[in-house]
Amino acid sequence: MRDIETCRTVVLGGHLDVCDACGDARPAYNSCRNRHCPKCQCLRQAKWVADRMERVLPTHHFHVVFTVPQECKPLALRNRIRFFEILFAAASSTLLKLGLDPGRCGAQLGITAVLHTWTRKLGFHPHLHCIVTGGGLAPDGRWISVKGAGRFLFPIAVIRTLFRGKLLAALTRARECGQLDFDGACADLADSAAFARWKAALYKKDWVVYCKPPLGGAQQVFKYLGRYTHRVGISNQRLRSSDERGVTFATKDGAAVTLAPDEFIRRFLLHVLPRGFVKIRHFGLLAPANVNGKLAAARRLLDPAPEPRAPLAAGPAIAALVALAANTGEPPPAPAWRDLFRQLTGIDLGRCRVCGQGNVVRFPLPVDSPPSPASSPAFLDTS
């Protein structure tokens, strides 16, 4: 909270931007760079996607979402790290097992999984977004597409049944090993009989697993990666108003909800991940151990003579990312952040925003002595 409250404010210091033509001067304060801050994710997301360009296989992909029932949420809140680890393991092993099934594909898939924990109303709802290749590398070195991959990945009923069994079995093992905390809202599950009844009821439910139709090539995949990787519970664009009575923010289909300030903060903090927890993970062909071996072999099979990637027709941001990571024979140099920002947004931060002619010259801005409106007539709060 301290990081987010002080992000782009005088507390973190910054610099003074002065136009060499019209003399306009305004402060630009430093960012907190916290991964949960809504204002610090755009450029980081763009850099991450650009770095991932070289690993995306030139084939169609599927977007699969794994969710857990409402009954699991108290246990997940009390055991965040352990539950999230089990969620990653159950979802990835489900997809990998079905991919290796000779009757379905018989090959190792590539998976990128991203953890989200929120609903549009900031409720706690842990789920995984998975980008999955529509085929895989067989043990004999061939590339095999998933049967029916032109329409679907695997039958949803099969995915959710296997996922349900794997997750509940892992929770049972964790309980037997004393790895779960049953205090608070899930205290009743500390009793063996109660836990057995809870598990039996969950086995009878149809868990929600959603699989979207196949995405196009690597270009369309990147639109999805950029959309889901570096998001936080709520963005500034969704905030409509706030005062001492409440915070109003957009939810879905033009609707909005108003929460008391303390309730809004409580819900936002539900989605702060444990320190050091990795929320983006790669499995199968995309696992770090396979990048230089199996992944490279799959790429050669799919694209024996790679050509430079063409820019996407999905807007300047994605086009710039593709251009930055074009196949030139060697990794592209990392651009300065202002140059990257201009490539992604079309906004030149080195040009004066008032006169549009002059160049912006930067001067240090001490943390303890920010400029005042009196000393800088064009002073604007850019937070």
Same domain as 86, residue 71:
yes
DSSP category for residue 293: I
Place of tokens 């959710």: 160
Share of the chain above pLDDT 70, in %: 83
Same domain as 227, residue 341:
no
Element (H, E) at 193: helix 192-203
Q: What is the DSSP pairing of strand 360-365 with strand 143-145?
A: unpaired
Place of tokens 């991959």: 149
Q: Name beta bridge partners: 210.
A: 65
Domains of the chain: total: 3
How big is the chain, counted in residues?
383
Same domain as 351, residue 258:
no
Q: Token pair of 227, please?
A: 């959309």
Domain finish residue from 217, 249, 270 = 270
Q: Token pair of 73, please?
A: 């949420």
Residues 6+ apart with CB under 8 A from 73: 124, 125, 126
**What is the span of the domain harbouring residue 244?**
238-270
Place of tokens 């009196």: 374
Same domain as 334, residue 255:
no
Same domain as 75, residue 193:
yes
pTM: 0.82
CA angle 128, 132, 137 (to 5 degrees): 140
The amino acid sitting at 215 is L
Domain finish residue from 270, 292, 326 = 270
Same domain as 66, residue 25:
no
- Whose CA is closest to 256, among 239, 242, 237? 239
Same domain as 260, residue 281:
no
DSSP category for residue 362: E
Q: Token pair of 22, please?
A: 């019209």
Same domain as 320, residue 291:
no
Same domain as 136, residue 265:
no
Same domain as 374, residue 331:
yes
Same domain as 263, residue 191:
no
For residues 343 and 153, what is the distance between their CA atoms, to the nearest angstrom? 35
The amino acid sitting at 47 is K
What b/e string do you get for 343-381 counting C-beta neighbours within 10 Å, with b at 16 or more? bbeeeeeeebeeeeebebeeeebeeeebbeeeebeebee
- Contact between 317 and 46 under an 8 Å Cβ cutoff? The reply is yes
Domain finish residue from 290, 305, 320 = 305
Element (H, E) at 17: strand 14-19
For residues 182 and 202, what is the distance between their CA atoms, to the nearest angstrom? 18
For residues 170 and 82, what is the distance between their CA atoms, to the nearest angstrom? 10
Same domain as 331, residue 218:
no
CA angle 58, 61, 67 (to 5 degrees): 150
Element (H, E) at 268: helix 261-269
Q: Token pair of 5, please?
A: 């409250």
| pLDDT tens track, the chain, 383 positions | 899 889 988 888 888 888 988 888 888 888 888 889 888 877 777 777 777 777 889 888 999 999 999 999 999 999 999 999 999 999 999 999 999 999 999 999 999 999 999 999 999 999 999 999 999 999 999 999 987 656 788 999 999 999 999 999 999 999 999 999 999 999 999 999 999 999 999 999 999 999 987 777 666 776 677 777 888 889 888 999 999 899 999 998 889 999 999 999 999 999 999 999 999 999 999 999 999 999 999 999 998 766 555 443 334 444 444 444 443 334 444 556 677 667 655 678 788 888 888 888 888 875 554 444 333 333 333 33
Helix axes 42-52, 316-324, angle to 10 degrees: 50
Residue 364 sits at φ, ψ, to 5 deg, of -60, 145
- Whose CA is closest to 232, among 31, 7, 29, 42? 42
Helix (H/G/I), strand (E/B), else coil: 368: coil
For residues 91 and 171, what is the distance between their CA atoms, to the nearest angstrom? 14
Largest CA distance in the chain: 77
